[in-house]
Structure 1
């Protein structure tokens, strides 16, 4: 009987060890109040972004009377709401995307190596936790951090890799990606190559 219990506990520990380590970033913390019969009760609301910096990211919000408890609740919620985003070369997006939530609108563009993360506030936290190293983004409309993060994640959900597009169309990846020819083409005919070189 004791052996069975120990076996079950051991399995649970292995699962915890197998789960990847997540990094988290506190984006915003607000003091909130609830009006009750005796006056006002004050608490704190936390907004946290969590990611494994290898293509998974999520956000969560938590409320509590103390700041650490609010952050803990937000982190747990974020870990339950992770989404996977395909990254090009593990550093940038595959294509430009737009996202919106409510009045918050964001535009995210793929960028060459060495560009860095050009993003403001809450969007930067999402990209850092996602593991993106090169991206150019712009936020218009609502500057509310909740809406900005939701709009960013809305755009990232629409991100798709060439492999995903190929499988949806029933084609090979090589058929979808543009072919790179050695010589440029003019009106469907191959351009003449100069023999001076």
Structure 2
């Protein structure tokens, strides 16, 4: 669970309270997803968010329990920098981004949140950054054969 908030909508008859939840799910291997939902009570909001998170699962590219390359991603006011780390370094990340990285099964990574402190925005930005990761390209054998 990333975030729970009580939100209010002002109607003609007064204020209407609802609950918004942001849930992150992952298999701690290579899949992670987030769900954002509202409901009349907390349990309803959590149930809706879990269902959305299951539908929004993405595959994450990992190499030796870290990410294949450095990535900087911006989404609205959120800016996130993710860097691969050596084995044994661990997950160095703040707040909501740490949750996403651990659920994705990434064990060694360094991260920095550069923009807003909004948890929901940072989680969405982290998911998009992980989605943009590409597999490393293997270098071809050198073509230095001499022509006769």
Question: When the two structures are superposed, what TM-score results if normalisation uses the length of structure 2?
Answer: 0.90
Match of 1:105 among 66, 79, 82: 79
Q: Which has the higher contact order (CA 8 A, sep 6+)?
A: 2
> Within 2, Cα distance between the matches of 1:77 and 1:144?
20
Please state how far the C-alpha of 1:153 moved relative to its aligned partner. Answer: 1.6
Structure with max Cα Rg: 1
Please state how far the C-alpha of 1:37 moved relative to its aligned partner. Answer: 2.1
Please state how far the C-alpha of 1:33 moved relative to its aligned partner. Answer: 1.0
Match of 1:52 among 16, 21, 27: 27
> Within 2, Cα distance between the matches of 1:108 and 1:37?
46
Question: When the two structures are superposed, what TM-score results if normalisation uses the length of structure 1?
Answer: 0.69
Runs of 4+ in 1 over 2 A off after TM superposition: none
How many residues align? The count is 142
> Within 1, Cα distance between the matches of 2:41 and 2:130?
32
Q: Which has the higher helix share?
A: 1
Runs of at least 5 residues in structure 2 that lack an aligned partner in the other structure: 143-148
> Within 2, Cα distance between the matches of 1:70 and 1:42?
12
**Structure 2 counterpart of 1:75:** 50
**Structure 2 counterpart of 1:117:** 91
